[in-house]
């Protein structure tokens, strides 16, 4: 998605009784209805609550010679195409063989993308990339409605397919403190590498835009040969 993306007032209205909270940050070029200040205050985490850790989701050995960071959104069609046409070969040839350390960092263009990330994280590290594959493969279906109730129902179907139950999914999707922590982490990560759109790839510290597998392979081989 080739547009500048920072979040300004991401109002999360969870359907089906999932509650409502406010996540706030910088500037956004999408307008979403903000929640009232009273609701935001009611749902904000207490000051004495320990900070929530939002982990990087990773594959491959941490001591690999090459580290690849992907910045991507679950509602970005270019990201879905990248995962269909590039990531599968990258995983087979470089991640599964231990040649690279891969880090996936979520970008949130909209509330649907944030909800999808919350569902992906709900099953823990072991299920994350399996849920990711389902989200990208079926993005036009699960995210294709303007009705948040429908989208939440679609995401829960994906979660159930991955072995999670409704109680677990409801708990994850109602976790306003985690949602805020995820957006805070997203903002910091975007600033770290001056990410302007998705997918963005950072290979051993050098930023690259979307590319074909052949182009990426050339860069990786050059890094591995150093």
Which CATH number fits the domain that encloses residue 190? 3.40.30.10
Give me the pLDDT at residue 2, please.
Answer: 39
Report if residue 78 sits inside a domain.
Answer: yes
In DSSP terms, 128 is beta-bridged to none
Task: Indicate whether 11 belongs to any domain.
Answer: no
Tell me whether residue 1 is in a domain: no
pTM: 0.81
Contact 143, 41 (CB under 8 A): no
Domain that holds residue 108: 48-225
Within-domain flag for 193: yes
Q: What is the pLDDT of residue 127?
A: 96
- In percent, the amount of the chain with pLDDT more than 70 equals 78
Residue 21 within a domain: no
Q: What is the largest CA-CA distance in the chain?
A: 57
- Residue 169: which residues within 8 A CB-CB, separation 6 or more? 119, 122, 155, 156, 159, 160
Both tokens assigned to 70: 């992907």
In this prediction, residue 83 carries a pLDDT of 96
- Of residues 83, 82, 95, the one with CA closest to residue 131: 83
Give the list of residues 6+ apart from residue 26 with CB closer than 8 angstroms, or none: 6, 7, 8, 187
Which H helix or E strand runs over 129? Answer: helix 125-137
Examine residue 96 and state whether it is found in any structural domain, yes or no: yes
At 126 the pLDDT is: 93
- Interatomic CA distance for residues 170 and 11, integer angstroms: 18
The count of structural domains within the chain is 1
Backbone angle region of 19, left / alpha / beta, with phi > 0 → left and psi within -120 to 50 → alpha: left
Q: How confident is the model at residue 12, as a pLDDT?
A: 44
Work out the pLDDT band at 51, boundaries 50, 70, 90. Answer: confident
Tokens coding 186: 């997203």
213: tokens are 């597998």
With respect to residue 18, please indicate whether it lies within any of the assigned structural domains: no
**pLDDT band at residue 109 using 50, 70 and 90 as cut-offs:** confident
- Cross-strand pairs, 68: 102, 203
Span 118-172, pLDDT tens digits: 999 999 999 999 999 999 999 999 999 999 999 999 999 999 999 999 999 999 9
């Amino acid at each position: 998605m080739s547009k500048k993306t920072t979040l300004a007032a991401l109002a999360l209205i969870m359907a089906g009784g999932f509650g409502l909270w406010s996540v706030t940050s910088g500037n956004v070029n999408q307008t979403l209805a903000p929640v009232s200040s009273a609701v935001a205050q009611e749902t904000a985490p207490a000051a004495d609550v320990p900070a929530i850790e939002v982990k990087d989701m990773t594959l491959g050995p941490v001591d690999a010679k090459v580290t690849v960071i992907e910045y991507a959104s679950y509602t970005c069609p270019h990201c879905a195409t990248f995962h269909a046409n590039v990531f599968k070969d990258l995983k087979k040839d470089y991640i599964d063989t231990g040649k690279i350390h891969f880090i996936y960092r979520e970008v949130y263009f909209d509330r649907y993308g944030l909800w999808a990330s919350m569902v992906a994280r709900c099953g823990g590290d072991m299920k994350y990339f399996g849920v990711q594959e389902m989200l990208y493969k079926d993005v036009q279906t699960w995210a294709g409605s303007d009705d948040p109730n429908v989208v939440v129902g679609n995401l829960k179907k994906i979660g159930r397919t991955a072995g999670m139950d409704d109680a677990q999914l409801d708990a994850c999707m109602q976790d306003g403190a985690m949602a805020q922590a995820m957006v805070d982490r997203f903002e910091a990560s975007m600033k770290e590498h001056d990410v302007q759109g998705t997918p963005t790839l950072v290979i051993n510290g050098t930023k690259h835009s979307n590319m074909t597998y052949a182009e990426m392979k050339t860069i990786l081989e050059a890094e591995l040969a150093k």
